[in-house]
Amino acid sequence: MNTHSIVIVSDSNKQAAQDLISALYTNEESTSTHGDNFFGVELVKGSDSFWASAGSFYSTELTALVNSALCHHVSFDSSFDSVIEAQDMAKVVIEDEPE
C-alpha cells in the first residue's frame, strides 16, 4: 500500500536513509541503488542541512525509515510547504548559471 508522506532526514543521516531504502530492494543477484532517488530536496534550518522526500512511499519503505530512527520528521496528509514552514526550515534553491 502507498502512503503519501513527507520524510525529512538530517544531512548526516541522508546516506544511511538512502542505503536503508536500497537494502529493501537488494537481493543475492544484485545490489539496488533505489534509495539514491530519495531525499533530493535540500532544506536548511539555521546552519543545519536537511533533506526531504515527498510523495507516495510503499509501506515497507516508510516502516523501515520510521523504525530506523533516521528521520528528523515524518508527516502525513500535509502539504510540503506547510511542513517546512512548521519545521521552521527553508528550501534551498539553486539557480541555473547563465550560459
pLDDT tens digits, one per residue of 47-69:
999 999 999 999 999 999 999 99
pLDDT tens digits, one per residue of 37-46:
999 999 999 9
Average pLDDT over residues 14-18: 97
β-bridge mates for residue 94, sequence order: none
- Per the CB < 8 A criterion, the answer to whether 39 and 17 are in contact is yes
The domain limits of the chain are 2-91
Query: What is the Cα–Cα distance from 24 to 39, expressed in whole angstroms?
Result: 16
Amino acid at 19: D
Label residue 12 left, alpha or beta by phi (over 0 means left) and psi (-120 to 50 means alpha): alpha
